[in-house]
Amino acid sequence: MTERLRVRLPSVFEILKPAVGPSSSHTLGPMLAARDFAKAAAAAVGCRRGGERIRVTLYGSLAFTGRGHLTDLAVAAGLAGYGPRELASRSLGAVAQAVRDAGHIQVDGREMLFDLDRDVVFDVDAENLPHPNTMRLSLLDPGGAAVIEETYYSVGGGRVLGGGLGELRERQNSSGAISMSQVLTECERSGIDLVEYAYRIEETQHGHTRAEVDAHLDEIWGLMQQAMERGLTAEGTLPGFMHLERRAHGLYARFLEALPHFDILSAEASLASIYAIAVAEENAAGGAVVTAPTCGSCGVLPACLRVVQEKLGSSDAAIRRALLVAELIGAMIATNASISGAEVGCQGEIGAASAMSAGAVCLLLGGSARDQVDRAAESALEHYLGLTCDPVGGLVQIPCIERNAAGAVSALHAASLAMISGGVDRVSFDDVVEAMHKTGLDLDARYKETARGGLAVDPDLCDPGAARHR
């Protein structure tokens, strides 16, 4: 293994992981941060006389759109010791209500006061934050003095830094540490493909055996399919003031009825759209999904993989390989730019998901790493440059659900173009990632998951009684 291969990239366990919706950075991340802090708080309480209280302050994007993303409920669940796997059989709302009714949490036999309605503070006035998704958790003594305080940063895709989870500066200093061009050159030099490269990264950097990686990928693919199936059968309305009707069930039924009539638009494109909407609706409902690379973009990759598997009869082993390539692309974007809508807008979520999916599909189609997989990922991401993150009412519904459908179709299109294109690709994947990062930093904060610009402030959509259909 060369020095270059030892540069740390996020693990497949970080990029593709079980989650609960609606947002990886605003729901899953704060939940994991709160769970980490609860353990530190319990240790700090020790033999104290009691009466300590936990206070949580949300800043930046977490403060602006946290209510719509259920951040306060996620914090309550995390403090109570819940993570995404524990919530597979119990809803986030039910756990939060139990915490609200009790007025305290208990960790390792130590009780700490926590009033969900009073002790989660949404501070929208703070400026010059080290990260747009910043939160501070405090353990206060009965007199209100801090016993311990920790600051956490939800950096996208449910990845959390700060507290006991790693320093933000380590992530910032690692930016630009490795490029896709360097990876491809290393693969060619070592005579390995991207899949083998990903396996070696997991083994050398993260200590995961191939059997562990395969077991994780099988779990992830199973969770993706389960979310899709639930989304295709569920009816009714999504949570939130818009009362948005779930559409995937009806879309799928009408698709099956009209199947013989697809003479212009391909059936696969329509199916990919429907599958993506099904998963995105599950996410919006707070259901169990997989970050790919985020919750807000969780429908793109499973939709593309299912369409190809149904069309080509791809084995689950082939799907594992495709997931590894998708993860590697997502890891490159997370390392050299961002997958956080609060940092770079939706180009870091739907754009990244479309690039991951295009590369994965290209692999399943037999594409080569440098000439086709890289080109497919580049093409998919390129056409989402500048995409804003402006969820209406802070809910991951409009325009997020349909953006998953668009991202899936774009990925299939990019993979198709890459497979039939010849000559030299003038723009590399690395070029587009760099441009995406710079564009995201230049975007006004109103368009980066703060619900202060774009569709998020459309008066017709934001009026609770104005929109029931979309």
Q: Tokens 């440059």 map to which residue? A: 385
CATH code reported for the domain at 176-462: 1.10.4100
The arithmetic mean of pLDDT across residues 360-385, rounded, is 94
Tell me the pLDDT tens digit for each residue of 59-105: 999 999 999 899 999 999 999 999 988 887 788 889 999 999 999 99
Percent above pLDDT 70 for the chain: 91
Q: What is the DSSP string of 146-191?
A: EEEEEEEEEEETTEEEETTS--HHHHHHHTTS--HHHHHHHHHHHT
Confidence of residue 173 (pLDDT cuts 50, 70, 90): very low
Place 262 in a pLDDT band, splitting at 50, 70 and 90: low
Decide which of 3.30.1330.90, 3.40.640.10, 3.40.50.300, 2.60.40.10 is the CATH code for 21-157: 3.30.1330.90
Question: Contact, 302 vs 279, CB < 8 A?
Answer: yes
Structure tokens at 415: 């993979």
Distance CA 189, CA 227 (A): 40
pLDDT, mean over the chain = 90
| Cβ proximity of 279 and 303 under 8 Å | yes
Burial of 231 (0-12, 13-18, 19+ CB in 10 A): buried
pLDDT tens per residue across span 131-155: 999 999 999 999 999 999 999 999 9
pLDDT band at 465 (very low <50, low <70, confident <90, very high): very low
Residue 55 is classified by DSSP as E
Residue ranges of domains in the chain: 21-157, 176-462
At 50, the pLDDT band (50, 70, 90 cuts) reads: confident
**Average pLDDT rounded to a whole number, residues 323-349:** 96
Instruction: Note the residue count of the chain.
Output: 470
User: 187 and 328 in contact (C-beta within 8 Å)?
Assistant: no
- What's the mean pLDDT in 197-206? 95
What the block records as the tokens of 37 is: 């802090």
Query: What is the pLDDT, as a whole number, of residue 47?
Result: 67
Residue with tokens 């609770």: 464
What average pLDDT does this structure show over 164-192? Answer: 76
pLDDT for 1: 33
Contact partners, residue 42, CB within 8 Å, separation at least 6: 107, 108, 110, 112
What does the block give as tokens for 145?
A: 């003095």
Asked if residue 431 lies in contact with residue 180, where contact means CB atoms within 8 angstroms, the answer is: no
Q: What does the pLDDT look like over 269-310, one tens digit per residue?
A: 999 999 999 999 999 998 899 999 999 999 999 999 999 999
